[in-house]
Amino acid sequence: MVTLESTIENRFVREVHKLGLYTIKVVNSCGWPDRLVLLPGATVLWVELKRPGASLEPLQTHVHRTLRKMNHPVACFDDPIEAVKWVIDWTNWAVNRGAW
């Protein structure tokens, strides 16, 4: 059975909400990551979610590279739990620097 990207995204959103965080879907994004996750202290994470085995399109790779050059945290995942672990790591960082 093929896992759809929407299934992965829905699971990710549910798990992020359980953490008490907000996530915003980016629509009509033209290469921008699917989701923003808002953390304390004005930290914003960019998250791209893919179905298993899928990779970034060239425009998406360019946008990710641009975001990294601007020191924005961005990552791509095909597993919603791995994506949530990444969010938790960043949340812990925000808490430890006194942003929460």
Other CB atoms within 10 Å distance of the CB of residue 9: 20
**Of 48, 57, 56, 58, nearest to 79 (Cα)?**
48
CATH topology (fold) of 5-96: Trna Endonuclease; Chain: A, domain 1 (3.40.1350)
The gap between the terminal CA atoms of the chain, to the nearest Å, is 41
* 22-74 confidence digits (pLDDT tens): 999 999 778 999 999 999 888 999 999 999 999 999 999 999 999 999 999 99
**Of 84, 90, 86, 88, nearest to 9 (Cα)?**
84
Domain residue spans in the chain?
5-96
Residue whose tokens read 């949530």: 84
pTM for the model: 0.91
Question: Which structure tokens are listed for 60?
Answer: 């998406």
Question: Which structure tokens are listed for 93?
Answer: 């960082």
Residue 94: its H or E element:
helix 80-96
* 67-93 confidence digits (pLDDT tens): 999 999 999 999 999 999 999 999 998
